């Protein structure tokens, strides 16, 4: 990948059991593998999201988010019946955590703002929560004081319950204007110090996994997937991203000198067999999962394969919308965890909960009984570090070589509470996995 590309490598951590790590393709080996091998502007970081770590769910004037509502209304659907009411208590302990970040040597810290913490009802006109604003001001200032660059996501799965109840949030075109207003409030309030903004985290995965497939199912006011599938909701989120990005680019970027982008997650898809049909299926899977959001944002239109396969199910952008959307990023955030095999399968009208059914694609994590990578307790997450290199090279080739930040990558394992902390931190699987991902990433950069 071109040398001008910059990467933020964020890792998700846990205390875990350690199965053996195996790779069929080994990365390049180095005599002394250190961060000095990476470009000077490469950022090593870690990341969190508001609901996952902050706690203080309804403290200091914070409004209800959809997650706050969900864990109260459907707590029986949570495996251990936990909530995010306390979580990691980052709201109260962020200074202690920043001390640890500095000790590790992080260049950057990615976090999200809780929309309902700063605007409890979702709109400026319905009240600003000054204590919520103070928390993020203090957090940003503390990071900068410790030499850590803030990397801020505006929305990470936790929009205000108020707009969900009013009109179904991103199931409705009204969401575009409300999100744009919220984004501008953040640019105006925090943008003098925040130089990296991501509008949305994983909107593609958000819709497919959470809404359309019923994974969390909080949508109660008209935002549910319709006969058109998840595509109208995706359309609204693309427009919301672009509206916010244009406000930043036109009004704030000239003086604040920051960058704005979006974070899209994807699996890397490999053809199950070396046939034209299977290779086309793998390309189509990437179009439907990744290109669904990336192609409009870079080129102004949905992938041709989506238009061909979906017909009227896929909304169309007006000429003005296409102009607003095209080029509405300074960088592309990418979340990569795993790879899958892809193969052709006929469309099954009774299987619309499987998103790639729309693309006539079936996926598998095994070929001839051999797993694609090292299995983890998370059914979809196989560790395939080589897939990261292949994905980066595909992005360079297919999407005009954008500036890329890898915002998430990591290892999932089961917790073993019988281990002492000294035993648990002898974490050979995670060390090997992160080492391999970084080496394959460096290969892509070179």
HEC readout, the chain? CCCCCCCEEEEECCCCCCCCCCCCCCCCCCCCCCHHHCCCCCEEEEECCHHHHCCCCCCCCCCCEHHHHHHHHCHHHCCCCCCCCCCCCHHHHHHHHHHHHHHHCCCEEEEECCHHHHCCCCCHHHCCCHHHHHHHHHHHHHHHHCCCEEEEEEECCCCEHHHHHHHCHHHCCHHHHHHHHHHHHHHHHHCCCCCEEEEEECHHHHHHHHHHCCCCCCCCCCCCCECCECHHHHHHHHHHHHHHHHHHHHHHHHHHCCEEEEEEEEEEEEECCCCHHHHHHHHHHHHHHHHHHHHHHHHCCCCHHHHHHHHHHCCCCCHHHHHHHCCCCCEEEEEEEEEEEEEECCCCCCCCCCHHHHHCEEEECEECCEECCEECCCCCCEECHHHHHHHHHHHHHHCCCCCEEEEEEECCCCCCCCCCHHHHCCCHHHHHHHHHHHHHHHHHHC
Q: Is the pLDDT of residue 115 over 70?
A: yes
Band of pLDDT at residue 424, cut at 50, 70 and 90: confident
Neighbours of 277 (CB within 10 A): 12
Q: Is the pLDDT of residue 6 over 70?
A: no
pTM over 0.85: yes
Taking residues 379-387, what's their average pLDDT? 95
- Locate tokens 């970084």: which residue? 438
Residues classed as catalytic:
202, 408
d(CA 35, CA 43): 10
d(CA 159, CA 253): 25
Polymer length in residues for the chain: 446
Domains and CATH numbers, the chain: 8-27+40-445 (3.20.20.80)
Percent of the chain exceeding pLDDT 90 equals 79
- Locate tokens 């902390």: which residue? 421
Band of pLDDT at residue 217, cut at 50, 70 and 90: low
What local confidence, expressed as pLDDT, does residue 62 receive?
Answer: 99
Q: Is the pLDDT of residue 19 over 50?
A: no
Compare 28 and 22 and report the one with higher pLDDT.
28
pLDDT tens digit sequence for 331-367: 999 999 999 999 999 999 888 778 999 999 999 999 9
Taking residues 195-224, what's their average pLDDT? 74
pLDDT, mean over the chain: 92
Tell me the CA distances in angstroms from 290 to 55, 159, 225, 229, 366, one per residue in order.
Answer: 31, 22, 19, 17, 22
Q: Is the pLDDT of residue 14 over 60?
A: no
pLDDT tens digit sequence for 282-297: 999 999 999 999 999 9
What local confidence, expressed as pLDDT, does residue 3 receive?
Answer: 45
What local confidence, expressed as pLDDT, does residue 189 receive?
Answer: 99
Taking residues 206-228, what's their average pLDDT? 60
Taking residues 59-80, what's their average pLDDT? 92
What local confidence, expressed as pLDDT, does residue 225 receive?
Answer: 52
Compare 425 and 50 and report the one with higher pLDDT.
50
Q: Is the pLDDT of residue 392 over 90?
A: yes
Q: Is the pLDDT of residue 13 over 60?
A: no
Q: Cα-atom radius of gyration of the chain, to the nearest Å?
A: 21
């Amino acid at each position: 990948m071109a040398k001008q590309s910059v990467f933020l490598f964020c890792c998700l951590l846990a205390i875990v059991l350690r199965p053996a790590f195996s790779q069929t393709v080994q990365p390049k080996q180095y005599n002394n593998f250190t961060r000095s091998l990476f470009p000077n502007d490469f950022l090593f970081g870690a990341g969190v999201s508001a609901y996952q770590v902050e706690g203080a769910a309804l403290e200091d004037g914070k409004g209800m988010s959809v997650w706050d509502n969900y864990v109260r209304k459907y707590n029986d659907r949570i495996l251990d019946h936990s909530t995010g009411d306390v979580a990691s208590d980052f709201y109260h302990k962020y200074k202690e955590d920043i001390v640890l970040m500095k000790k590790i040597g992080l260049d950057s810290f990615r976090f999200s703002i809780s929309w309902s913490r700063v605007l409890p009802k979702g709109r400026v006109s319905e009240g600003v929560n000054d204590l919520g604003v103070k928390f993020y001001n203090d957090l940003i200032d503390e990071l900068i004081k410790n030499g850590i660059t803030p990397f801020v996501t505006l929305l990470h799965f936790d929009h205000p319950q108020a707009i969900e109840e009013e009109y179904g949030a991103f199931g409705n075109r009204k969401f575009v204007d409300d999100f744009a207003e919220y984004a501008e409030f953040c640019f105006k309030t925090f943008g003098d110090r925040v130089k990296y903004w991501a509008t949305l985290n994983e909107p593609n995965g958000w819709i497919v996994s959470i809404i359309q497939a019923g994974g969390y199912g909080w949508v109660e006011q008209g935002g549910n997937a319709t006969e058109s599938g998840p595509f109208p909701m995706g359309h609204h989120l693309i427009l919301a991203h672009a509206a916010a990005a244009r406000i930043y680019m036109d009004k704030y970027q000239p003086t604040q000198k920051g960058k704005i982008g979006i974070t899209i997650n994807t699996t890397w898809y490999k053809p199950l067999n070396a046939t034209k049909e299977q290779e086309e299926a793998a390309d189509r899977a990437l179009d439907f999962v990744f290109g669904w959001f990336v192609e409009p944002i870079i080129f102004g239109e949905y992938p041709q394969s989506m238009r061909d396969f979906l017909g009227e199910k896929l909304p169309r952008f007006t000429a003005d919308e296409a102009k607003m959307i095209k080029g509405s990023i300074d960088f592309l955030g990418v979340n990569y965890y795993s790879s899958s095999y892809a193969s052709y399968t006929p469309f099954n009208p009774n299987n619309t909960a499987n998103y790639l059914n729309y693309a006539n694609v079936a996926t598998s994590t095994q070929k001839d009984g051999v797993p694609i990578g090292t299995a983890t307790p998370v059914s979809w997450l196989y560790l395939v570090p080589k897939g990261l290199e292949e994905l980066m090279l595909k992005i360079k080739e297919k999407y005009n070589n954008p500036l890329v930040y890898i915002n998430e990558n990591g290892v999932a394992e089961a917790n073993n509470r019988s281990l002492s902390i000294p035993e648990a931190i002898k974490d050979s699987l995670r060390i090997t996995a992160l080492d391999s991902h970084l080496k394959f990433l460096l290969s892509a950069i070179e």
